[in-house]
Amino acid sequence: MPRPARLSARLFPAGLLAVAAAASLPAPAVASATGVNAISTVAERSGFERTGRYDEVTALAAAFQARYPGRVSARSFGTTPEGRPMQLLVVTGTGAFDPAEARQRGIPVVLIQGGIHAGEIDGKDAGFLALREVLEGTAAPGALDKVVWLFVPVFNVDGHERFGAWNRPNQRGPVEMGWRTTAQNFNLNRDYVKADSAEMKAMLRLVQQWDPLAMVDLHATDGAQFEHDISFQVEPLHAGDAALRKVGRQWRDAVIADAARQGSSPLGFYPSFVVEDDPASGFEDGVAPPRFSHGYFLLRNRLGMLVETHSWKPYPERVRITRNAIVSVLEQMARHGTAWRRAADEADARATRLAGAQEPLAWKAGDHVRTIDFRGYAYTRTPSDVSGALMTRYDETSPQVWRLPLRDQVVPALTATAPQAGYLVPPAWAPLVQPALEAHGILFRRLDDAWPQAPAQAFRATEAKTDAVSTEGRQRLAVEGEWKREPRDVGAGALYVPVAQPLARLVLALLEPRAPDSVAAWGGLNIAFERKEYMEDYVAEDVARQMLAADPALRDEFQRRVAADPAFAADPAARLDFFYRRHPAWDERYGLYPVLRLDQPPPGT
């Protein structure tokens, strides 16, 4: 492991400084120096060289509940594929240990999760440290009297137990850590919308039950070497409800200011270079698609924060600054949470009126570029005699201020017009769509009666292309096409999904076929775009001649196409297909997206 940097007393709370200073002492001496007890962690007792296994989490949860019975409730909110309980601590001084009571009393709820990538385990150890300090009143005094804190120490529990010394080779500590993905190889921070994993299904149930105002996702990033030690990305800020964006910016800026006062060098964007391994390429800010945690919660009109410590900082430093971030979040939520919750409720009401509005489905950095000072290190870029590639090498003994481009004016990359009424899923396709609606708590209604010639809009794909390789176990699909008015017969048992509901943006994200994380984009409806019927060439030859003879306009169209399109003229299959697509034998459902849009609700709804 690389040598840890020298630790500064200015940057540490007193308790953590004592632990860090004792890092080289044997375990009994560390225990004596820090006064550890039943609610301390393996990390603390080892001077933050190590992190504990998952049995420590369940033991700590029980110990905290026993010590603070009126303020901590230890619960399991799910079971992993390998049979492990998913631990939750409900922490509050309000007495609102039931989600309905918290909702009725208007108490803001904040969900803080660690270990979604279980190799990046800073959040678990920092969370338990912050938990003890907050309960003892030495940090965020009084905050628990105004909020409910849901603490999930480890989201990816099975991945946590895939323990090893080299699971994060580009990270300075702890000595051993867990694995990025689950036992089923899911990356949970790509699963928020499609919700394939048992872990994510459990998390979404928890979210539906408690409806947290804010979710904080604790990570450790990697990549280049530089001095900045933590970054915060918040949404809504660039995207989502316009008024709630102001709240998101207020929250992010307040937490950044708190981190700076604690001695950190925080960033308000994710520090990943535009061109990998090339600092001169600078940075682009953006909005994560909803497969990611903070990109998901904005669609629920709630606040999402991605916290990324820098993996090149030693583990004691990363735990310290993550602890500071948790404390800041609790303080800000105690100070502003009631007003922010009202703002979120108002955003819910506005979302029910999105019908007919243009709504972004994806975002990108705009063309405007500004230059920023970025605290890096001297570096060289030279060809490697190992890989043969141009490689960047950093000199951590030579701090250097880089002047880098940043594109941080974020603009829509793809938009859709919300239907006036909602979406209609024909009964044959309902079983493929209904689980997604239920997983997210989206309102829908099953139609009891058939609806002949429903006045719908249909989306017919002009192009449908699946990826060559799978992603997260799915064969992703990209479609092009447009919605057009097309009355369709719809049978009984169809699902009507109204837009007039608080989760309207999530409805669009799931059911607009071109949205980046829609049911269609994740391959959930690929079979609808597979061609099943064909016309033999010898039959098509005769059919084509009959059609040419019977329809002079068609003959002229064909001849013009042959003359103008050399690729078409040279492709026998395409020439025959020209006629087959215009023949009654053609499958009229081919390329038809199996979800319809409605500008009027179904009869009786």
CATH 3.40.630.10 fits 73-351, yes or no: yes
> Cβ(449)–Cβ(403) under 8 Å?
no
What confidence score (pLDDT) does residue 605 get? Answer: 83
What confidence score (pLDDT) does residue 249 get? Answer: 98
Amino acid at 464: A
What confidence score (pLDDT) does residue 20 get? Answer: 38
What pairs with residue 362 in β-bridges?
A: 414
**527 vs 485: CA distance, rounded Å:** 23
Q: HSE-up of 424 (CA within 13 Å, CB side)?
A: 30
- Residue 105 CB neighbour total at 10 angstroms: 11
pTM of the model: 0.91
Helix (H) or strand (E) segment spanning residue 90: strand 85-92
Instruction: Report strand pairing: 410-417 vs 72-79.
Output: unpaired
Domain boundaries, the chain: 73-351, 377-412, 414-531+590-598, 537-580
Amino acid at 209: Q
**457 vs 514: CA distance, rounded Å:** 15
User: CB within 8 A of 397, min separation 6: which ones?
Assistant: none
- Helix (H) and strand (E) counts for the chain? 17, 21
442: its two tokens: 């989206």
What confidence score (pLDDT) does residue 35 get? Answer: 38
pLDDT less than 70: residues of the chain? 1-36
